[in-house]
Amino acid sequence: MKKENPVNHQRMRLQPDDGLGPTSDIGSRLRALYGAVQEEGVPDQLLDLLEKLDNAEQAQSKQTTSQGGE
Amino acid sequence: MATESTSFKREMLATLPSLRAFAVSLTGKHDKADDLVQDTVMKAWAKQSSFEMGTNIKAWLFTILRNEFYSQMRKRGREVQDSDGAFTERLSVHPSQYGLMDLEDFKKALSQLPDDQREAIILIGASGFSYEEAAEICDCAVGTMKSRVSRARARLQDMLKVHGESDYGPDAVSTQVTTNNHSF
């Protein structure tokens, strides 16, 4: 059997070797900072906003559908 | 029909944490980043008919956010970015695998990069975009994107070398700093 296929590893980032890969010092620090912000989650106000936008749209489309159906 | 907007919403939700991290890297401030993401969500929602489901919503949203950021900067002048950009504010979740000082140095180095280089290395190195996608987001040629990234990397390497190579290994200093427990 061949060794663990290194191509798969490469594929995960679809990048040429840019010095930012999994073993790179700078790359992993960048991802650590970025990841720390990501892990804070999404603030409620943003979730509320999306919810409102979605509800408004659904209400509107319901209205148009029922009008069209008359 | 409800379903289409709901799946648009779902895809948008999935992208928000990364979009927000990018916003923090641009504005340097969490509150400004959140305002920026909010403006982006409204813009994107208004433009959703121009988005084709199944195509790259992440790149699409990043493009809107970035355009919004620079157009606000132009309108309000540089004061929008009064901090140095990058992740200058204290993070509520500290990345566990690094020592505190280690990342502080790195943040400082990152904030000293020119804006175009910093955004390039973040899009490629942290957001996970390809050079082609990042070039599209920043409205520049792929070759330009590549050279920005490589200049950014070289400068970061230089700046970090000055701070000594002794703490090179990420695991050496780290674990004692993690005081926060978060859900995952």
Distance CA B103, CA B111 (A): 12
Distance CA B154, CA B149 (A): 9
On whether the pTM is more than 0.90, the answer is: no
Of residues B17, B38, B50, the one with CA closest to residue A53? B38
- pLDDT confidence band for B125 (50 / 70 / 90): very high
| Range with the poorest average pLDDT among A40-54, B91-105, B162-176 | B162-176
Distance CA A39, CA B183 (A): 9
Interval B115-123 mean pLDDT: 97
Put simply, the answer to whether B20 touches A13 (Cβ < 8 Å) is no
Each residue of B20-44: pLDDT tens digit?
999 999 998 889 999 999 999 999 9
- pLDDT confidence band for A67 (50 / 70 / 90): low
- In chain A, residues with a C-beta closer than 8 Å to the C-beta of B18 are 34, 38
Query: Of A4 and B126, which is predicted with more confidence?
Result: B126
- In chain B, residues with a C-beta closer than 8 Å to the C-beta of A49 are 38, 41-42
**Residue A12 sits at the chain B interface (C-beta within 8 Å):** no
Each residue of B143-160: pLDDT tens digit?
999 999 999 999 999 988
Q: What is the ipTM of this complex?
A: 0.77
Q: Give the end-to-end CA distance of chain A in Å, rounded to a whole number.
A: 68
Contacts of B115 (CB under 8 A, 6+ apart): B85
Distance CA B155, CA B150 (A): 9
**Residue A69 sits at the chain B interface (C-beta within 8 Å):** no
CB-closest option in A26, A38, A43 to B153: A26
User: Measured between CA atoms, how close is B16 to chain A, in angstroms?
Assistant: 7
CB-closest option in B37, B98, B103 to A46: B37
Whether pLDDT at B173 is above 60? no
Domains of chain B: 1-78 (1.10.1740.10), 95-165 (1.10.10.10)
Whether pLDDT at B53 is above 50? yes
- Which region, left, alpha or beta, applies to residue B166 given φ > 0 means left and ψ of -120 to 50 means alpha? alpha
Distance CA B39, CA B68 (A): 8
